[in-house]
Amino acid sequence: MSSHFSPVSDELLRPIVDAEQVYASYTGAVIEAKKYAARIGWQTSISGAKYLVSVLTRNGLRQKKSLGPESPDTQRIYARYIEEQGKAKARLKDMERAYEVRVRLNRALRLGDSPPIVVRVLNELERANLTKKLIVIGTNALFAYASAARVRPDNVISSTLDLDLLWDSRSKIKIASPDPEGLLGLIKRADSSFAKVPSQGYTISNRDGYQIDLIKRNEGFDDPEEPYQPWVNEADFWDVKTKNMDWLLSAPRFSRVVIATNGTMATMNTVDPRAFVLFKYWLSDQKDRDPGKARRDLLQARALEQLVQTWLPQLSFADLAAFPRSVRNLVVRNGIS
């Protein structure tokens, strides 16, 4: 096993699995409760007729919908909805308590290794239903791969003060954030000290110097139908075009629950670990890459390649057709194979 990853001890394997199961139940309860977020009740029209009405407030907008005049059918709809809504609320309350207990246990047992700020941001993206439109790339993805393999990465390869979010700009539709300030406002719900870096419109930073970059592919810049930036709010922080992001966007997605050092949990959506390895090998091979960054790229690629071969052997590098053969050959040239 690579010296940059250490296996989770046997006595901690069960608590980690339990934590993931509790988190899955908690998120399931959240999803179920959202189905019954609308208020439902009877309203009387000017003519005196009663109607069953649903009212849903989302992103500051109030949506009102008539479900029909009072009748045996609408009375059954009302009774059924109120019953299921009560069950969903009770289930969510129970799971919120179970989640808080598990967070404290996670912290006491030191089960987590992800930065708390990353988990907070991921949870805000989850609440806004944006985790499939904005995926994590870069060093923080190592925590998802380590979680899958039941290992821990060391600080040499995993320490970082930035989070890279990749937006799939191939979609022709801009993203509507539930916050008036767009993505920036959404992330400020996780940490109110985040603000745009004046010299870099695609970067925001908090009071601790932790930065978040918004990245998009460079390949589609001549497509007039492709959104120039993802957000409806023009004052939001913008994306930076980065070469060969199509390789990552075309690779399989990878999703794992990660646990923060403070015990909180989130689902991280990222790219397949093989795609991470190949992209890091390619980066390390670029002549204009900063030498220090290139060395770390190569270190991360080699460490993760060995992790895949040791703990995720069902994943074959030959299957990643999204990457050119010349890039796939870098595994043979630079890797541990």
Position 1 scores a pLDDT of 47
In a domain, 282, yes or no: yes
In a domain, 297, yes or no: yes
* Tens-place pLDDT, residues 92-119: 999 999 999 999 999 999 999 999 999 9
Confidence (pTM): 0.90
In a domain, 85, yes or no: yes
255 and 321 within one domain? no
In a domain, 154, yes or no: no
CB 277 within 8 A of CB 135: no
How many structural domains is the chain composed of? 3
Residue 221 confidence (pLDDT) above 60: no
124 and 197 within one domain? yes
In the chain, the percentage of residues whose pLDDT exceeds 70 is 91
In a domain, 261, yes or no: yes
For residues 151 and 111, give the distance between their C-alpha atoms in angstroms, rounded to a whole number: 11
260 and 121 within one domain? yes
In the chain, the percentage of residues whose pLDDT exceeds 90 is 71
In a domain, 88, yes or no: yes
In a domain, 331, yes or no: yes
CB 251 within 8 A of CB 276: no
- What the block records as the tokens of 304 is 């993760």
Q: How far is CA 71 from CA 38, 80, 199, in A?
A: 21, 14, 63
In a domain, 152, yes or no: no
80 and 48 within one domain? yes
Query: Structural domain of residue 201, as residue ranges?
Result: 113-146+160-271
N-to-C CA span, the chain: 13
98 and 19 within one domain? yes
What distance lies between CA 64 and its chain's CA centroid?
31
Residue closest to 210 by CA, chosen among 112, 118, 113, 144: 118
175 and 254 within one domain? yes
Return phi, psi of residue 163, to 5°: -125, 125
Q: How far is CA 247 from CA 60, 71, 137, 172, 250, in A?
A: 37, 56, 12, 19, 5
* Tens-place pLDDT, residues 36-47: 999 999 999 888
Position 307 scores a pLDDT of 95
